[in-house]
Amino acid sequence: MKKIKFASLLIFMLGLLLASCNRDITEPVISSNPTKSTLSDMSFPGQFNVNYADSLMTFSWSAANFGFPASITYIVQVSPTQDFSKNVSALFTTQTLSGTAKVSDVNTLILSWNYAIGTSATVYYRVAATVSPNVDTVFSAVKSTSLIPYDAVINYPMVYVPGDYQGWAPDKAADTYSLLYSYDFNSTYTSIVRLVNTSGSQTNFKVTSNPDWNHTNYGFATLIKTGNDYSGTCSTNSSASNFTVDNGVYVLTIDVNALTISLTKTDDWGIIGSSIPPYDWSTDVNMNYNGQRKMWEITGDFKAGEFKFRANDDWTLNYGDDGNKNGGLKAGGDNIALSADGNYTIRFDPSKLTYKIIKN
């Protein structure tokens, strides 16, 4: 009987202990309506131009509140769209209530969104607050500012395309416009390359990871021609043979992780006119595609006179000034004037229909 009473007492005491423990444990309760940060207007000293490239743009905000004490991570995001539906980029991540980004970094982002140099762009920004992957991120209200991107070259990762068309010289790839760029900073590299071997009707080439033959080289594994285009796979084996394609201008794309390659035939652009050798509107001078700037360009000695851009040595597709005299183009537009003899760099963007003439 005593044993029964003792057991009952023990069970009763354990029950009291568990009840006491349950009362002492206070689990965090996540607010169903967290308080989002209030974002202040972005500020920076000076002007948004190359002279202030290393200046810092400052962002600050109030603390978010998820309803319980928490370590909150803040991410300042920017986008060219007010609803942040595309091209969302993180400027920086912090656990404080402010942070900075370089003018040059923001300029690079704007250019990557394909805004034209010298043209006002609306940049939308917000701050995201997060405490856990299992808890919904809280976003501040969106703010915006207008910035004018300046001319700057983005240092994209590169691979090299040596071949018989340029002397099999990976170290001369920059001089021969035989570079591919990773515009999304990943394993995919692309650009427009003129693969024209003047000694024959076909061109042989490889792709190298560095401006030499001492690192990873990508050669032929398979290559199938469909119409004027090619697609295939690469081999990094040192004994891999060259890729061989018909002479032409191609959008050349390689994925160095998937080991795939493609070549899509595209327009070959040049300039022609009384300003351009032989100065009589009879013959085009080829331009080269600068993949880093995403523009066709040529540098040379030209005379006072006029010129136009045309594709494939033919007048079917040609561009001249749109009449506004602001660097805009239109199909079949006006002749473009050069006012004086001199050495010039001429750039042309057939996607944005803009051109630029630089006196060197």
CATH number of the CATH domain containing 137: 2.60.40
Helix (H) or strand (E) holding 230: strand 229-235
What letter does residue 283 receive in the DSSP assignment?
A: -
- Cα–Cα distance, 233 to 222 (Å, whole number): 5
Domain boundary among 147, 174, 209: 147
Task: Output the domain CATH number for residue 195.
Answer: 2.60.40.3620
Domain end marker among 226, 248, 265: 265
24 domain-assigned:
no
Q: Are 108 and 154 in contact (CB under 8 A)?
A: yes
Predicted pLDDT at 28: 59
On whether both 251 and 300 belong to a single domain, the answer is no
Paired strand residues for 234? 220
How far is residue 65's CA from residue 77's CA, in Å, rounded to a whole number?
19
292: which residues sit within 8 A by CB, 6+ positions away? 153, 154, 156, 179, 181
Residue 267 to residue 348: CA distance in whole angstroms? 13
| pLDDT confidence of residue 16 | 45
- The pLDDT assigned to 18 comes to 47
Residues 275 and 345 in one domain: yes
- Residue 214 in any domain: the answer is yes
| pLDDT tens, the chain, 360 aa long | 444 444 454 444 455 444 444 444 455 556 668 899 999 999 987 889 888 888 999 999 999 999 888 899 999 999 999 999 998 999 999 999 999 999 989 998 898 887 878 889 999 999 999 998 888 999 999 999 999 999 877 789 999 999 999 999 999 999 999 999 999 899 999 999 999 999 999 999 999 999 999 999 999 999 999 999 999 999 999 999 999 999 999 999 999 999 999 999 999 999 999 999 999 999 999 999 999 989 999 999 999 999 999 999 999 999 999 988 778 899 999 999 999 999 999 999 998 899 989 889
Counting every residue, how long is the chain? Answer: 360
Q: Provide the domain count of the chain.
A: 3
In a domain, residue 355? The reply is: yes
> Which residues constitute the domain of residue 254?
158-265
The residue out of 210, 236, 265 marking a domain boundary is 265
Residue 235 lies in a domain: yes
What integer pLDDT is reported at residue 98 of this predicted model? 96
Is residue 13 domain-resident?
Answer: no
**Residue-level pLDDT at 29:** 59
pTM of the model: 0.67
Q: Residue 275 domain-assigned?
A: yes
pLDDT in the model for residue 79: 95
128 assigned to some structural domain: yes
Q: Are 274 and 304 in contact (CB under 8 A)?
A: no
Asked if residue 17 is part of any domain, the answer here is no
